Chains A and B, each alone.
Chain A
Amino acid sequence: MSELKAELKVVEGSYAVAHAVKTCHPDVIAAYPITPQTHIAENLSQFNADGELGNCEYITVESEFSALSTLIGASATGARTYASTASQGLALMHEALFNAAGMRLPIVMTVANRALSAPLSIWNDQQDSIAQRDVGWIQLYAEDPQEAADMTPQAYKISEDRDVMTPAMICFDGFILTHVYEPVALLEEELTDEFLPPFNPEHILDPKNPETFGAFADPSIYTEFRYMQELGMREALKKIDPVAEEFREIYGRYYGGLLDEYRLDDAEIVLVAMGSIIGTIKDVIDEVRRDGIKAGLLKIRSFRPFPLDAVRKALKNAGIIVTLDKNISIGKCEGALCTEIKAALYNTRLDTPVVGYMLGHGGRDVPPEIIKKIINKATRSMKDGLTIESSYADLKEEFV
């Protein structure tokens, strides 16, 4: 067994994430169990019961709204805070998500991505986090359990940076990643300690030195508060790449910064995606390249802040761009990545066609064949110069 492999252990994705959280020494955790996030909350609760979380306060709450509200109070006192949720739970947090961001509280939360009701689905897509696009939280997407675990201390480091002070969601596909067992290098406490400094905010709630957080802002000042959130995001944009590099120096693992590329250098057909379908896409790219199709992948790790310049640079030589979305904006029949990528190309000299596909909603499996089909269609469209409007790649017409 190689030295690298010797560090690995076969564990469930949720365990890998919970274990990563433990090495970050959170002071307060508040979580309400919801499928498929439950195993993260359970593992943390177990660590707490076993005394492995030190002085951490694990608060069992009666709803997701309470979970986040609790953490808002805790974070304002200078505590490092953690939550995990999914789907309806994240939707229930909606109002408090704005408050956490507006009060500049660097809460870190894992979202075990799941579809929204109705109809009820406990299965994976990314509609839940995409629906929270504009709440002012950083959104990072992981392709596998290792990346989700490694993102956790990275998220704290980015969020707690005094120039950033913005909460972060780590988006992690429910079931596909939360429930998979595979070899993962569990984070080590000493290494995370070396990587992640203690949370030391400039302003805290302290009775001895009273300050006000999130108070009333009349029209003379509200815009400036909102703009300062945007400035915080811009700082995050600068820091995500260097933080990924610092992590690599200490841990020896790297998954890209704002984005990552796979066989992109000479790619004519560029797929753009995020989350657990990345691995399947990489396998398909290797396969179609053996048949001479020049396909490549742009993986978006940071959806907010959106890395506009880096995306433009990565896509500048593409012949056709294909976005794959596990979400839809109903009424536009387009996924969020599709909209972002189209917008990113506007005001550039590029006139590259963008084809949007939505797939894998409500837990529908994404087999390699469907990715192959999409690549073949894009190849034909590029050759014929035909435009393809955004559509579902896996719709069963017979049920419509």
Chain B
Amino acid sequence: MKEIRIHGRGGQGSVTAAELLAVAAFEDGQYSQAFPSFGVERRGAPVVAFTRIDDEPIRMRSQVYNPDYVIVQDVTLMDVVDVAGGLKEDGMMIINTEASAEKFEEVPARVMVVDATRIAMEIIGRPIVNTVLLGAFAGATHEIRLNSIRKAVGDRFSGTIGEKNIEAVEAAYNAMEES
């Protein structure tokens, strides 16, 4: 089983990202589960969402304490929340930042960085980074195929918005592949 924890702020679409990961993983032929940390939703407040992926049906319903992967949608959360808490040593953290990975040497696991905000601004025209980070996740981890992320995003967002989101997913995926 692979466990993923997504840190974001209310309004950034962390819960949607967790859901889309679950949809994409299932598209890949795996079982999946996504759920929010059930806080009272407020825009800007720290939010956590979780996804589990496994070959077998998933029965576990506790929160995720030892994630294989952590996705940080907003780098300013790193001063507020223990985003690395419980992260497995051989796990990975994917951070949305313009800084380089070396800047995060305090994280006791591999760090991959992506400037998701820039990609989102350039392609989508708004700083909505959740789908961008899904592309980055697929590119950095290869836990989920790019095509499945594309399909999950395309099914959720229709028309031009959907196309732009898919383009942003691909850009982040390729950025990770190259790094």
| Chain A interfacial positions (CB closer than 8 Å to B) | 1, 5, 8, 10, 12, 122-123, 144, 175-177, 179-183, 276-280, 282-283, 363, 365-368
Contact = CB atoms under 8 A, between A and B. Distances in A.
A83 to B, nearest CB: 23
Interface stretch (B33-41, B68-76, B103-111, B138-146): B33-41
Contacts, number: 69
A122 B22 CA distance: 25
B40 A182 contact: no
Interface stretch (B2-10, B53-61, B87-95): B53-61
Nearest to A2: B29
B52 to A, nearest CB: 9
A335 to B, nearest CB: 19
Contact of B61 (A1, A277, A363): A277
B40 to A, nearest CB: 7
Interface residues of B, number: 22
Contacts of B38: 123, 175-176, 179, 363
Interface of B: 18-19, 22-23, 26, 29, 31-36, 38, 40, 57-63, 65
Contacts of A176: 35, 38, 61
Given A5-B29, A8-B26, A180 B34 contact: yes
B34 A182 contact: yes
Most buried by A among B58, B61, B65: B61
Contacts of B23: 10, 181
A368 B60 CA distance: 8
13 contacts: A10-B22, A10-B23, A10-B34, A175-B36, A180-B34, A181-B23, A181-B32, A182-B31, A183-B26, A183-B31, A283-B60, A367-B63, A367-B65
A278 B65 CA distance: 19
Contacts of B32: 10, 181-183
A179 B59 contact: no
Contact of B33 (A1, A180, A365): A180
A12 B33 CA distance: 10
A285 to B, nearest CB: 10
Contacts of A365: 62-63
Contact of B62 (A177, A183, A280): A280
A276 B34 CA distance: 15
B60 A181 contact: no
Given A180-B33, A183-B32, A279 B59 contact: yes
Nearest to A35: B40
A181 B31 contact: no
Contacts of B35: 175-176, 179-181
Nearest to B40: A122
A10 B32 CA distance: 8
A183 B18 CA distance: 14
A38 to B, nearest CB: 12
A197 B57 CA distance: 32
Nearest to B19: A181
Given A122-B40, A123-B38, A176-B35, A181 B22 contact: yes
Nearest to B26: A10
Contacts of B40: 122
Contacts of A175: 35-36, 38
Contacts of A1: 29
A200 B36 CA distance: 42
A354 B11 CA distance: 47
Contacts of B36: 175, 179
The 8 closest A-B pairs by CB, nearest first: A279-B59, A181-B34, A175-B38, A367-B62, A180-B35, A182-B33, A181-B19, A10-B23
A280 B33 contact: no
A280 B61 contact: yes
Nearest to B58: A182
Nearest to A279: B59
Contacts of B31: 182-183
A122 B60 CA distance: 22
A1 B23 CA distance: 14
A8 B57 CA distance: 12
Nearest to A282: B59
Given A122-B40, A179-B38, A279-B61, 8 more contacts: A10-B32, A176-B38, A176-B61, A179-B36, A182-B22, A182-B31, A279-B60, A280-B61
